């Protein structure tokens, strides 16, 4: 068994990320873009392309580079079903936004109409109250200025409540009530 020559795993395994980058750099070199400069001023290396530091470049990074490429591929190539779902969700959200805006506008229009109706009712009620107060004031002034002899006690009697049932919680004013009632029926003769 000593004559069997097995290759060590270090020599048989190749770094897929490094191979990919080497092929891409070769393709770019063919196009004449091999001296690209970036923000750092140098062309990207395998470690720079995936955010690895210079120290990490010195160490074997086959797992880190491969996972970085794989995660970049996942973000770059989105499945058709997910893309369709996103588009459907965007349409659904846009439709819901449109319906919400229509409902909001409808509520605003309804509120404006209700406010206008309320203001109209308030104005109508205010006008009615003003006219009632004017007529009551005119009647009060007419009665106040009335000079008919013998009507003084009738005017006083209008302010007196002659119903004893209504005044249960007040002082006993029965004697005063009876005097006013007597004066109303038989006024004083001068």
| pLDDT tens digits for range 69-88 | 777 766 667 778 888 998 99
Give domain status of residue 4, yes or no.
Answer: no
**Cα–Cα dist 148/134, whole Å:** 24
- Both 182 and 170 in one domain: the answer is yes
With respect to residue 1, please indicate whether it lies within any of the assigned structural domains.
Answer: no
Residues 135 and 190 in one domain: no
Q: How far separated are the first and last CA of the chain, in Å rounded?
A: 159
pLDDT at 54: 44
User: Residue 89 belongs to what domain range?
Assistant: 79-145
Residue 48 resides in a domain: yes
CB 69 within 8 A of CB 17: yes
Asked if residue 118 belongs to a domain, the reply is: yes
Domain count, the chain: 3
Q: Which two tokens stand for residue 13?
A: 């395994």
**Using alpha carbons only, what angle is made at residue 163 by residues 161 and 166, rounded to the nearest 5 degrees?**
90
Q: Are residues 61 and 110 in the same domain?
A: no
The reply to whether 103 and 124 lie within a common domain is: yes
**Is residue 3, in this structure, part of any structural domain at all?**
no
Residues 156 and 137 in one domain: no
Same domain, 62 and 84: no
The string of pLDDT tens digits covering residues 122-158 is 999 999 999 999 999 999 888 777 777 666 777 777 7
Is the same domain home to 95 and 48? no
Q: Summarize the chain as % helix, strand, coil (round to 5).
A: 70, 0, 30
What confidence score (pLDDT) does residue 134 get? 96
Q: For residue 115, what pLDDT is reported?
A: 97
- Residue 128: inside a domain: yes
**Do both 119 and 71 map to the same domain?**
no
Residues 134, 153 within the same domain:
no
Confidence label for 28 from pLDDT (cuts 50, 70 and 90): confident
Q: Tell me, yes or no, whether 24 and 73 share the same domain.
A: yes
Specify whether 72 is located in the same domain as 18: yes
* Nearest residue to 34 via CA among 22, 16, 51: 22
CA distance 168 to 164: 7
Does this model's pTM top 0.75? My answer is no
**Residue 6 domain flag:** no
Tell whether 187 is covered by a domain.
yes
Q: What is the dihedral of CA 45, 49, 54, 55, to 10 degrees?
A: -120
Judged against a pLDDT cut of 50, whether residue 109 lies above it is answered with yes
181 and 139 co-located in one domain? no
Cβ-based neighbours of 50, under 8 Å, separated by 6 or more? 17, 64, 65, 68, 69, 72
């Amino acid at each position: 068994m000593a004559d069997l020559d097995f290759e060590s795993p270090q020599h048989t395994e190749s770094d897929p990320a490094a191979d990919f980058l080497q092929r891409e750099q070769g393709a770019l070199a063919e196009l004449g873009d091999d001296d690209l400069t970036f923000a750092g001023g140098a062309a990207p290396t395998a470690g720079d392309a995936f955010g690895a530091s210079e120290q990490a470049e010195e160490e074997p990074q086959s797992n880190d580079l491969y996972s970085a490429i794989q995660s970049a591929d996942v973000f770059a190539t989105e499945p058709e079903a997910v893309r369709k779902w996103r588009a459907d969700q965007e349409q659904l959200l846009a439709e819901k936004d449109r319906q919400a805006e229509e409902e909001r506008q409808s509520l605003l229009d309804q509120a404006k109409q209700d406010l206008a109706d309320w203001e109209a009712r308030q104005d109508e009620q205010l006008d009615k109250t003003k006219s009632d107060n004017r007529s009551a004031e005119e009647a009060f002034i007419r009665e106040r200025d009335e000079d008919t002899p013998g009507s003084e006690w009738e005017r006083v009697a209008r302010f007196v409540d002659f119903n004893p049932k209504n005044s249960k919680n007040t002082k006993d004013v029965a004697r005063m009530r009876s005097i006013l009632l007597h004066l109303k029926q038989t006024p004083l003769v001068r």
